[in-house]
Chain A
Amino acid sequence: MKGTVCFAILAIVLLVLVGCSTDIQNIEEGQRVSDEDIASVERWIKDTEGFLLAYLDEESDYVTDFQHSDDGMDLEGNVDPQDDGWAQLKQKQAKPSSLPNNKNNDPSGSKGQDSQLGIVPWQGNRTPTTRQPSVGGKKPAGDTGRELSPDKQKSPDKKIDDKDTNQNRDGDKIDSDMPSAPSKKQYINNIDIKHNDLLTDISVWTIPEVYSVQIDNKEMHYNGRNRYNLSIAGLKKDSNVNINMYDKDGKLLHSQKCVIN
């Protein structure tokens, strides 16, 4: 309570402070610096205009260079249709007369050539030229192969890991106390033990048939979702606890020994 009250007071004070400071800024500085501000803004606009013009010149140079160097080919010699498309677009914008040069590189040029005027028909052309080679070409097949192969390698590994952990769990942690059980049914899906100097926290996830769980004749808390939890103080490390599971009529289903480590 005290903490919250103090925090509230502090918050109010801080708010007032922030409000004052903003007000003072508005009143004092806003009127004084107005002329200087306008001048600086004008200067900035002039600078940016010059810079923009320079930038535009550079870009036009770049476009012409691009036209000369790019033939729609990669270093490996594969036809890259998307780059070709961009070159086409830029050529159209720069020089409409240079269109026929690129017709040879277009695999499906016949459709779009009838209505080839400006940017819109080119966009119509672009979809088949880009999609067809990418779907049927060599690169994507290799990609899918790469994607699939590690999965195939990984999935058995995971399974093996799971088996290993189960074996460890069975072998190290839990020793079945009832060897005469007719069917080796797993009543515990998972068990989690945290040991500390102060206390030991035991969480158990069971199968639905289990309706109550006891550890050393102490009833566990039911946390919902088939989870049971109980913390016990004064347990030593490497000591055994008995986990008893009961069904809904209170009949003992299974009893397991568990080593705390």
Chain B
Amino acid sequence: MRKKAICVIIILTIAVLILAAPVVADYWMSLQEILGDTRLDNRLKYNSPRQIRVETPKRYISKVHIYHGEKSDKGKGTFLTSIDIYPLESWYINNIYVDAVRLNPDGSPSGTIRPSREASKNFDPETGEIYWNVGFGNIDVDDNIDIEIRVYDYRKDMVQKLYVRFAEGEKITAPKESMESNAERGYKYTLHDLIADPNLFNELLKWYTLDEIKLRFKY
């Protein structure tokens, strides 16, 4: 009896393996990996460019606006800072944390001077916009400072991390027309589109880094 059961289970597992092979064989590779890949031609042998789908992640923050108040003479010294963070789709975002990190001249972080400050959610009644706002005081503007913005969704997962230099002004971090292409929104582009249309490819590269753009290979 037991031997029969074992045989049945083994046959079942083999069947499952054979059935699952084409699904499991699917894999994603980022453009960063492909850049140093010597087997790209070999991959294209089994996957034609029109079959290779391009995935880009969801963007949560559309722009960041930094205001410095009470300017002292010649733009030096310390003053109050207010940072507005505008979301693309506010209902996806649970909370936003903002750090200020001081950097050494060589770029390595020397210390977090204002750790993990949670931004507050605000509503503009005139335009109907929802945005997050956070403030800092007493930070020397001449210092080499990075603002780190971390976005968390309702599953408490960090979904986007953004670095902004601590300079006054507006910084747009996402395209006006959504370029995201994933399982949720549907795959918009294939590798063929990127090869055939360099303008589209450059527009995509303008908003996404090489790590974030992924290609799906079947085999």
Complex contacts, B26 vs chain A, CB 8 Å: 3
Closest chain A residue to B37, Cβ basis: A196
Q: How far is the CA of A9 from the CA of B23 in the complex (A)?
A: 13
Beyond A17-B13, A229-B209, A231-B31, 7 additional contacts (C-beta under 8 Å) are A3-B20, A3-B24, A6-B19, A21-B6, A212-B167, A226-B107, A233-B194
Q: Does A7 sit at the interface, judged by CB under 8 A?
A: yes
| With A13-B16, A233-B194, A248-B167: A20-B5 Cβ-Cβ less than 8 Å | yes
A-B contact count (CB 8 A): 110
Binding site for B on A (CB under 8 A): 1-3, 6-7, 9-10, 13-14, 16-17, 20-21, 24, 189, 194, 196, 198-199, 201, 205, 207-208, 211-212, 218-219, 221-227, 229-234, 248-250
Shortest CB distance B99–A (Å): 11
Complex contacts, A230 vs chain B, CB 8 Å: 205-206
Q: Does B17 sit at the interface, judged by CB under 8 A?
A: yes
**Which residue in A3, A199, A205 is a CB contact (below 8 Å) of B201?**
A199
- Tell me the interface secondary structure of chain A in the complex: mixed
- Whether B105 and A233, one on each chain, are in contact in the complex, defined by CB atoms closer than 8 angstroms, is no
Closest chain B residue to A247, Cβ basis: B167
Q: 7 A-B contacts, Cβ less than 8 Å apart?
A: A13-B13, A199-B35, A212-B165, A222-B163, A225-B163, A232-B202, A233-B194
Complex contacts, B24 vs chain A, CB 8 Å: 3, 6-7
Q: How far is the CA of A6 from the CA of B24 in the complex (A)?
A: 8
Q: Does B12 sit at the interface, judged by CB under 8 A?
A: yes
Shortest CB distance B49–A (Å): 11
Q: How far is the CA of A212 from the CA of B32 in the complex (A)?
A: 23
- Whether B16 and A6, one on each chain, are in contact in the complex, defined by CB atoms closer than 8 angstroms, is yes
Q: How far is the CA of A65 from the CA of B199 in the complex (A)?
A: 86
Complex contacts, B36 vs chain A, CB 8 Å: 194
- Whether A234 and B198, one on each chain, are in contact in the complex, defined by CB atoms closer than 8 angstroms, is yes
Binding site for A on B (CB under 8 A): 2, 5-6, 9-10, 12-13, 16-17, 19-20, 23-24, 26, 31-32, 34-36, 75, 103, 105-109, 141, 144, 146, 148, 163-165, 167-169, 183, 194-195, 198, 201-202, 205-206, 209-210
Shortest CB distance A188–B (Å): 12
Shortest CB distance B3–A (Å): 9
Complex contacts, A226 vs chain B, CB 8 Å: 103, 107, 144
Q: How far is the CA of A211 from the CA of B171 in the complex (A)?
A: 12
- Whether A224 and B148, one on each chain, are in contact in the complex, defined by CB atoms closer than 8 angstroms, is yes
Complex contacts, A24 vs chain B, CB 8 Å: 2
- Whether B31 and A199, one on each chain, are in contact in the complex, defined by CB atoms closer than 8 angstroms, is yes
Complex contacts, A225 vs chain B, CB 8 Å: 103, 107-109, 146, 163
- Whether A201 and B210, one on each chain, are in contact in the complex, defined by CB atoms closer than 8 angstroms, is yes
Complex contacts, A196 vs chain B, CB 8 Å: 34-35
**Which residue in B16, B20, B168, B205 is a CB contact (below 8 Å) of A233?**
B205
Complex contacts, B163 vs chain A, CB 8 Å: 222-225
- Whether B13 and A231, one on each chain, are in contact in the complex, defined by CB atoms closer than 8 angstroms, is no
Complex contacts, B164 vs chain A, CB 8 Å: 222
- Whether B35 and A223, one on each chain, are in contact in the complex, defined by CB atoms closer than 8 angstroms, is no
Q: How far is the CA of A247 from the CA of B22 in the complex (A)?
A: 52
Complex contacts, B12 vs chain A, CB 8 Å: 13
- Whether A198 and B35, one on each chain, are in contact in the complex, defined by CB atoms closer than 8 angstroms, is yes
